């Protein structure tokens, strides 16, 4: 559930919609603090509002973004800020899809997109129940296709019964140099993630990044590489990531633990918070 406004975070934002509803406000408001969220105004004498939103002569990129917002949030809630009505926050969801229609060269119109308020809906900053809210994003799908991309030919796919999908994606086990061993990346939709993988005696150090921003170095060295089920472990966890489309990248650094005999880094699986 998104806490911030996805459509109009500021009054001058290009995705700020036109509001097609009567701005009738009850006299009683509750200045409340949401569950783990920030203070916001909540109307407690109403059963909810339905807003008819419209956008005129927006760029094709804006139309695509609005359709993406509908697909991303139609099964959940987000906050809509009524900048034209005093800045009140509403928690709700889309109840009608975004249907763009062309109005000119690279210009689109979206009319009567319905937003339904859900009164007193809880607002969560970030979900954090990894057992019930997170889903696995494996190296291989059920058809055997590799889902993780590599930017160098030095990465190989190797069967490993200890991995979540039965294989690991590994860089070369030689010291070619920082970054020259290449990188592997995966694009996911969601909040934060956990990085799971296999350690071993010939493994090096890899750099994890999210959306191009460095997060941490991960040491893949372990004295013994036990090829048995359930030895894949969570090596890194990143929480407090805004809901969206994100890219996780593992870069082979060409460095290693002094006790290691190699430089390989391994990709097993991601656990993604949805």
- CATH number of the domain within which 151 lies: 2.60.120.260
Q: Are residues 104 and 146 in the same domain?
A: no
Q: Is the pLDDT of residue 197 over 90?
A: yes
Q: Is residue 144 part of a domain?
A: yes
pLDDT, tens only, 19-51: 765 444 443 344 443 444 444 444 444 556 778
**Of the residues 87, 117, 147, the one at which a domain ends:** 117
Q: Within this chain, do residues 92 and 153 fall inside the same structural domain, yes or no?
A: no
Of 117, 151, 175, the domain-final residue: 117
- Concatenating the DSSP letter of every residue in the chain gives ---SBSS-SSTT-TTPPEE-S-----S-EEEEE-TTS-EEEEESS-S--EEEEEEEEEEHHHHHHHHHHHHHHTTS-EEEEEGGGTSEEEEEEESS----EEEETTEEEEEEEEEEE-TT----SS---TTTTEEEEESB-TT--B-SEESSTT-EEEE-TTSTTSEEEE--SS---TTTT-EEEEEEEES-EEEEE--BTTB-EEEEEETTEEEEEEE-B-S----STT--EEEEEE----SEEEEEEEEEEEE--TT-S--B-EE-EEEEE-
Residues 211 and 89 occupy one common structural domain: no
Predicted model pTM = 0.58
Same domain, 202 and 257: yes
Domain check: are 147 and 94 in the same one?
A: no
Q: Which of 66, 91, 117 is the last residue of a domain?
A: 117
Whether residues 85 and 160 share a domain: the answer is no
Let me know whether 143 and 106 are in one domain.
Answer: no
Same structural domain for residues 154 and 245?
yes
Domain range for residue 95? 18-117
Query: Domain check: are 185 and 86 in the same one?
Result: no
Instruction: Note whether 163 and 267 are same-domain residues.
Output: yes
pLDDT tier at 4, thresholds 50, 70, 90: low
| pLDDT tens-digit series, residues 46-68 | 556 778 888 888 899 999 888 88
Query: Which of 229, 245, 142 is closest to 188 using CA atoms?
Result: 245
Per the structure, the count of domains in the chain is: 2
172 plus 253 within the same structural domain: yes
Q: Are residues 107 and 171 both part of a single domain? A: no
């Amino acid at each position: 559930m998104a806490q911030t406004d996805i459509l109009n975070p500021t009054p001058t934002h290009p995705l700020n919609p036109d509001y097609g509803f009567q701005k009738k406000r009850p006299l009683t408001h509750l200045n409340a603090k949401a569950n783990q969220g920030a203070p916001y105004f909540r109307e407690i004498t109403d059963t909810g509002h339905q807003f008819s939103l419209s956008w005129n002569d927006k760029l094709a990129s804006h139309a695509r973004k609005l359709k993406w917002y509908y697909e991303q949030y139609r099964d959940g809630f987000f906050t809509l800020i009524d900048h034209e009505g005093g800045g009140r926050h509403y928690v709700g969801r889309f109840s009608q899809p975004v249907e763009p229609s062309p109005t000119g060269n690279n210009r689109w119109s979206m009319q009567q997109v319905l937003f339904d308020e859900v009164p007193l809906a809880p607002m969560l900053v970030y979900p954090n129940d990894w057992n019930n809210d997170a889903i696995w994003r494996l190296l291989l799908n059920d058809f055997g296709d590799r889902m993780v991309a590599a930017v160098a030919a030095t990465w190989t796919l190797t069967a490993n019964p200890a991995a979540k999908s039965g294989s690991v994606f590994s860089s070369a086990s030689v010291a070619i140099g920082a970054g020259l061993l290449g990188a592997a990346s995966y694009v996911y939709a969601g909040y934060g993630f956990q990085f799971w993988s296999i350690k071993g005696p010939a493994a090096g150090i890899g750099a994890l990044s999210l959306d191009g921003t460095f997060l941490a170095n991960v040491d893949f060295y372990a004295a013994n590489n036990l090829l048995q089920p359930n030895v894949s472990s969570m090596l890194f966890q990143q929480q407090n990531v805004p809901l969206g489309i994100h890219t996780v990248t593992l870069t082979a650094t060409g460095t290693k633990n002094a006790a290691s005999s190699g430089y390989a880094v391994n990709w097993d699986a991601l656990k993604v918070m949805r």
